[in-house]
Structure formats: C-alpha cells, structure tokens
A and B are shown apart, each in its own frame.
Chain A
Amino acid sequence: MPLPDHLTLEIVTPERAVVSEQIDEVQIPGAEGSFGVLPGHTPLLATLQVGELWYRRGQETSYVAVSFGFAEVQPDRVTILAQIAESAEEIDVTRAKDAERRAKGRLDTPVLDMDFERARIAMLKSLIRLRVASRANRG
C-alpha cells in the first residue's frame, strides 16, 4: 500500500469540532510523552495529557491547547477527542492569566482538605493556554 501524502487531522470536543484539516505533520502531547505523527504512521491509540499540540501544513504551523482525552492515529488520519481544545487565536489571554493567578494562589496557601491534584491541573492548564496564546501573537 502506498504511503498517504497527507494526514486528515480532526480535533473534536464534546461541544464542537475545533479543527478539521489536511495536514503534513502533527505533534501530540501523549500521557507518556509527546510524540510526532507523519503520514503513514502505524495505528495507535494514546491518551492525552494537558499540553500543547501543534500541526504543520506546508510552512504554516498552528498551535492548539488540549487537555484530557485520547488520540487515535491511523495511517491517513488522526482523530483527537479532547475535553478541551482551543486554538491559539481563540484563547482569552486575560482569562488565562486570571486563572493562573488563582491557581497559583491556591497552591501557595494550602488548606487542609485541598484537592492538590485539581489545583495542579488548573495551574498546568492556564500555563499551557498562555504558552499557546503567545505563539499566536508571535507568528
């Protein structure tokens, strides 16, 4: 079987389809480490962590902040099912900054029955959002 030239990337959240495009390469934040996918990749099913996903079409690279879910890779298509997925342009920087401050505050002043895992994830999410958003501004 000849190798396909392109990948069809689909990123869907429970609420909507975020991305549906023909692309050349994608980098996915898997639960056990980030990995890149090129056309013709072996079928793979991986869970995601909170992180930054990027994909490239020609010279153009786009960034998406994703959190939780899983990725299904087939030789000619990649499907990402994520709980949250926001492209760099969509991210509200002020909101993300607020969230970061809140999360930081919570981590700095621990209370007895605090849910550390949740606070940590909130922190991580806001940091990723900010990083992805900064990519949009630069390029």
Chain B
Amino acid sequence: MASLLDIRRRIRAVKSTQQITKAMKAISASRLRKAQDAMMGARPFASQMARVLGGLARQVDTSVHPLLTQRGPDAPERPTLVIVVSADKGLCGGFNTNIVKRAAEVITDAGRAGVSLGLVGKKGREFFGKRGFDVRFELVNIFANLKYAHAQAIAREAVTAFTEGEVDSVHVIYNEFKNVLQQQVVVNQVLPIQPLVVGEMGDAARERLPDYLYEPDPTQIFASLIPRHVEVQFYRALLESAAAEHAARLTAMEAATKNATEMIDDLTLYMNKVRQAKITGEIIEIVSGAEAI
C-alpha cells in the first residue's frame, strides 16, 4: 500500500498540472475570441470580392485566364501541390493528428504523379519534413501574429508553381472552424480555380450588380482580381485554422482540467482510506497491547 506521503505528493503534482491546464484554457479562450474577430473582419472583403468577381465573370471570357485553365488530358501528368496547414504548437487534442492523417491520405491518392508539399505550421513540418517528400516551401511561427501578407506569400508560391507548369493543381488542407466544439478537416482545390465557383458567385450577384462603367475594361479588372481571390482563399484557410486550433486547445484543456479534478478526488478518497486504515491498525495494536498486560 502506498504511504500517505506518496499519495500527498501525487495529489500536489496533479494539482500543479491542473493549474497549468486551467491557465492554458483561459489563454485559449481569449485567443479564440481574437481569432474569431479576425475571421469576422475578413468577411466583408471576401464577400464583396466574391460578388464583384461573380458579376465580372458573366461578362468576360473566363476560360482564357491562366489561373482558370485546366491542364489538358494529353499533357504529361505533373504532381499536385498540397499545402498542409497545421498548428505551431501541440496540446490541442486531435487537431494536428487529423490534419496529418488526411494529408497522408491525399498523398497516397495522388498516385504516380506524386505531390509537392507546402508546409504551414511546425507540427506539419515535424511530420512531413523528415520523411523525404518534395517540400516546396515551409512557413512556421506565423500563427502568433497572423497577417494577410502570410497568405500573400503562400499565394505567390502557389501561383508561380502553377503558372510555370511545375504542378497540375494546388490543394490546401486545413481545419475548418465549425464551432467551438467542432473542427473539420477540409481539402480545397485552390488552383486551377474551378469554373463552378465563379459561376455560383455569378448567380448570387445576378440581381445585385448594375451596369458599370469600367475603368480599365472588365477583362483587365477581372485579371487583376483573380490573384487577389487566390490570396483571400488562403487567408481564409489560415484564419479558420487559427480559430480551430484555439477552439481545439480550449476543449482539450477543459477536458484535462476536469480529469485532473476527478483524479484529485479519487486520490483524496484513497488517501483518507489509507489514513483510516492506519489509525484502525494503531488502535488495534494499542488495544491488543493493553490486553496482553
């Protein structure tokens, strides 16, 4: 049987762990709020952009733009650029594991043509960085201070790789923030931009977009907007991932704090039992000792 002292020591250890998980939970909660605000802040830009782009798509020949061009069927197969958005830190439940698992599936599915990887976040780099994949770029330590410029950097890499014909398509894998309790891993094709996406935006904009004067002409405006659209897509993925990460950590730390409380309760109960047993033993010893006299 463990001694009283040992049990007390364990209780103290669990308590200090609990303090840490509690603090981490509080921090995640405030960071989550910030991340959600950032997501809200990005929304007007994205929706205005989609509306105008959709309206323009109905007026210009969208098939000629290089970022919308599908690779021909007889062209040689080239790899897919897969951009994996993970977190910089752990202790957030299945957040990183889910991303890595899904990315591994995508890589397997890519088959012969293979993949080229873009790794965002330390955890993804830790996993894929040393497994001999073709890594096009890495971007770590961005989530503490996430800026639009980060999305631009990713977009630049992706667009260059695509337009220079080094890859056939660009996909991004990230955790989507559904709500505080739910994150969902999604795989989005970013390039080539699917005509469907442009068409859908057009439907939404049909009544709203009046006849504009254009300065310069619509085709040029469209061409200058398309790269922005790609950036916005990446920015959204980063923001979603950041919010999802904090939400995942919040949930994980809440569970950890609760488990610690339960553990402390169990240990305290056990400690009291041990103490009682010890006292009983001592009484018996005294009584039997007295009888012997």
Contact = CB atoms under 8 A, between A and B. Distances in A.
Binding between chains A and B: yes
Contacts of A74: 210
A44 B212 contact: yes
Interface stretch (A12-20, A55-63, A98-106, A121-129): A12-20
B72 interface: no
B224 A81 contact: no
A15 B215 contact: no
Interface string B179-214: 000000000000000000000000000000011111
A47 interface: yes
B48 interface: yes
A14 B212 contact: no
B224 A47 contact: yes
Contacts of A14: 42, 45-46, 148, 151, 231-232, 235
Contacts of A31: 215-216
A59 to B, nearest CB: 29
A12 B45 contact: yes
Contacts of B212: 43-45, 72
Contacts of A17: 41, 44
Interface of A is mostly: strand
Interface string B36-75: 0010011011101100100010000000000000000000
B41 A15 contact: yes
A15 B38 contact: yes
- Chain A, interface residues (CB within 8 Å), range: 20 to 34
A32 B216 CA distance: 7
B44, B220, B235: which has the most chain A beta carbons within 10 Å?
B44
Interface of B is mostly: helix
B45 A81 contact: yes
B48 A45 contact: no
B147 interface: yes
A72 B75 CA distance: 40
Nearest to A69: B228
A74 B51 CA distance: 14
B35 to A, nearest CB: 13
Contacts of A12: 44-45, 48
A128 to B, nearest CB: 18
Interface in B218-236: 218, 220-221, 224-225, 228, 231-232, 235
Given A43-B210, A45-B221, A47-B215, A13 B45 contact: yes
A79 interface: yes
| A-B CB proximity, top 8 nearest | A46-B215, A16-B41, A45-B212, A14-B148, A43-B210, A44-B213, A43-B212, A12-B45
28 contacts: A10-B44, A13-B148, A14-B148, A14-B151, A14-B231, A16-B41, A31-B215, A44-B212, A44-B213, A44-B214, A44-B215, A45-B56, A45-B218, A45-B221, A46-B214, A46-B221, A47-B215, A47-B220, A47-B221, A70-B224, A70-B225, A72-B48, A72-B212, A74-B210, A81-B45, A81-B48, A81-B49, A83-B148
